[in-house]
Structure 1
């Protein structure tokens, strides 16, 4: 359990490090992929339980702290809700095909956009909501879906390897 928490903490720090440092720039025309959304969704689909909720909360909180947002906890709330929603399909089906990952990320990105609209309507001005959807949403949306295919493939293989290790240990 402690080893899993340490691995999750390192994973969150590496995701935030990739997204919010000046030294590593993975943006494409100003759009960055939402790696945390991919990881929270992956953990919810493959781990189930409440692991994705905790991962989403601490990942969102770390993004709130690193981004310098005036409202601490908005991303934490958003990714916690996504982590909770990601648990629900785990009970219904198990994704074996990597080809389904863009479809799943498409659905969860739309859920994220809906949650963001609600939170932006409550906490921010309507101008910031329009700026988000006009400038950031489409580029980030397409980039996240495209990068989800190799990321899901890599993590599915790592997850399968870790499950095999658990059986033999």
Structure 2
């Protein structure tokens, strides 16, 4: 799907969204992970596209989609925490590590954030370096910055 931030690929399995990837991003999945293209209309993928476009247009503040990202128990703990970060705010990798009871695991948190397969919907863009720097976004720092400006966490 085309968006103001670039072309995104959406993936779903059964009744859950499993991926939202920017075409040019690092960690873009291999074709075998994606499976076959949807044949015809798909209600879930259509809803995800509609919600994502409305979000990027500033017309929607959150997402209402069933998600099922694939990952380890630790990755799921990090991704669950990402979904608790309010729109318009940011946190750090170190803070998430502290909140998960693993204060020395900031780099592991960074790796889990970087491997988030459902970008934007699971808001990994809201995580910054300890010094506030915009680092570590698979979709590109410009995309991270644009999302944070859209949400009001950064000034334009």
TM-score normalized by the length of structure 2: 0.32
Higher helix share: 1
Higher strand share: 2
Larger Rg: 1
TM-score normalized by the length of structure 1: 0.30
